Amino acid sequence: MTERLKALWAERSAREQWMLGVMFALLAIVILWLGIAMPLDRAQRSVRGALREATDRNAAVRAKVKLLKSLPRGAAAGPALPLEQFVGQSAGEAGLTVERLQAQGDDRIDIAVGSVRPVALFSWLATLEAQGVRVETMSARPSPTAGSVSVQAVLVRGVGQ
Q: Please tell me the CATH code under which domain 83-157 is placed.
A: 3.30.70.60
Q: Which candidate, 161, 124, 130, places its Cα nearest to that of 153?
A: 124
Beta strands at 98-103 and 133-142: parallel, antiparallel or unpaired: unpaired
Alpha carbons 28 and 132: distance in angstroms, whole number? 70
Instruction: Convert the pLDDT of each residue in 23-75 to its tens digit.
Output: 999 999 999 999 999 999 999 999 999 999 999 999 999 988 888 888 766 54
Beta strands at 108-116 and 149-157: parallel, antiparallel or unpaired: antiparallel
Instruction: Convert the pLDDT of each residue in 89-127 to its tens digit.
Output: 988 888 888 999 998 887 899 999 988 898 889 999 998
Specify the domain boundaries for CATH 3.30.70.60 within the chain: 83-157
Alpha carbons 138 and 112: distance in angstroms, whole number? 10
Full-model pTM: 0.52
The amino acid at 41: D
Other Cβ atoms less than 10 A from the Cβ of 106: the count is 10
